Amino acid sequence: MIIITGATGTLGAQIVDRLLTRIPADQVGVSVRDPSRAADLAARGVRVRRGDYGDPRSLAESFEGATQVLVVSAGQTGAAGVALHVAPVDAALDAGARRVLYTSHQGAAEDSLFAPMPDHAATEHYLAKTGAPFTSLRNGFYTSTITAMFGQALETGELVAPADGPISWTAHADLAEAAAIAIADEGRFDGPTPPLTAPVALDLDDIAGVLTDITGRTIRRVVVDDEEWTATLTSRGVPADRAALLLGMFLGARRGEFATVAPDLEELLGRPPTPVRQVLADAAGLPR
């Protein structure tokens, strides 16, 4: 039984969907905090059980009979976030899984300036210490981050953010397909994968150009001071710790932490990764 956690989330749901094109549904189970949200998967023959990273007892039942478990990274950061990764790793091994997969990040590093990255590095270190076979999927930065953080640019004509650097923006759909392939082809990866990224890295000047092209309206890149940007966020109700975390993405990008590009995702998919232009155009409801 292959168990996918977080199967009602953006990435997890797509991983399950792609996996079901490769593996019979009766060999797939999902571990979700709210099973009622996975009723469509149950209707397709997938085993649905409640599993919460914060409740190890629920994971023992959810992972019963597991041969492989994919742990989708949690949204929390710091020691609490790492603990939420360790719990399903331990539960998977206790259930007898022969391999654990984990959705990590291309920028995973202990000294990263972006808070989630040291957590990914710590989780990878824990996986290695277990001595059990594991695969850490070094995913590229989600392209959807652009639409989530900079949607106002389409209204104002200005892409306002702190100084940044190139990022190899990568589509959820491509990373979901890559994860499904890695699960179905069990011997393909051992330990951390190569960076699973788009073939190009774009900074926000480039993104402004893409938005200008697809909208037909000039989108101007505006660089603002770090403190001014975080103050603007907090004035709009964003908690101060969240604003500081988001600033860390720009600090890391300036240092080149997310600029790595590699051919491995394209080779794995057997096709070119989805361009940033396509994701942004689809999100804006505009022609590609």
Tell me the two tokens of residue 13.
Answer: 């749901």
- Per DSSP, the three-state class of 50 is strand
106: closest CA among 143, 141, 72, 71? 141
Which tens digit of pLDDT belongs to each residue from 158-202? Answer: 999 999 999 999 999 999 999 999 999 988 899 999 999 999 999
Residue linked to tokens 């210490």: 129
Percentage with pLDDT > 70 across the chain: 99
Contact 46, 72 (CB under 8 A): no
Calculate mean pLDDT across residues 66-71.
Answer: 98
Q: Is residue 119 situated within a structural domain?
A: yes
CB atoms < 10 A from the CB of 54, how many? 13
Q: Is residue 177 situated within a structural domain?
A: yes
Confidence of residue 87 (pLDDT cuts 50, 70, 90): very high
CATH code assigned at 23: 3.40.50.720
Q: Is residue 54 situated within a structural domain?
A: yes
The pTM (predicted TM-score) of the whole model is: 0.95
Contact 265, 106 (CB under 8 A): no
Q: Is residue 33 situated within a structural domain?
A: yes
Q: Is residue 268 situated within a structural domain?
A: no
Q: How far is the C-alpha of 273 from the C-alpha of 218, rounded, in Å?
A: 27
| Overall domain count for the chain | 1
Which pLDDT value is given to residue 201?
97
Q: How far is the C-alpha of 130 from the C-alpha of 172, rounded, in Å?
A: 29
The residue segments making up the domain with residue 28 are 2-140+170-192
Q: Is residue 252 situated within a structural domain?
A: no
Q: How far is the C-alpha of 137 from the C-alpha of 71, rounded, in Å?
A: 10
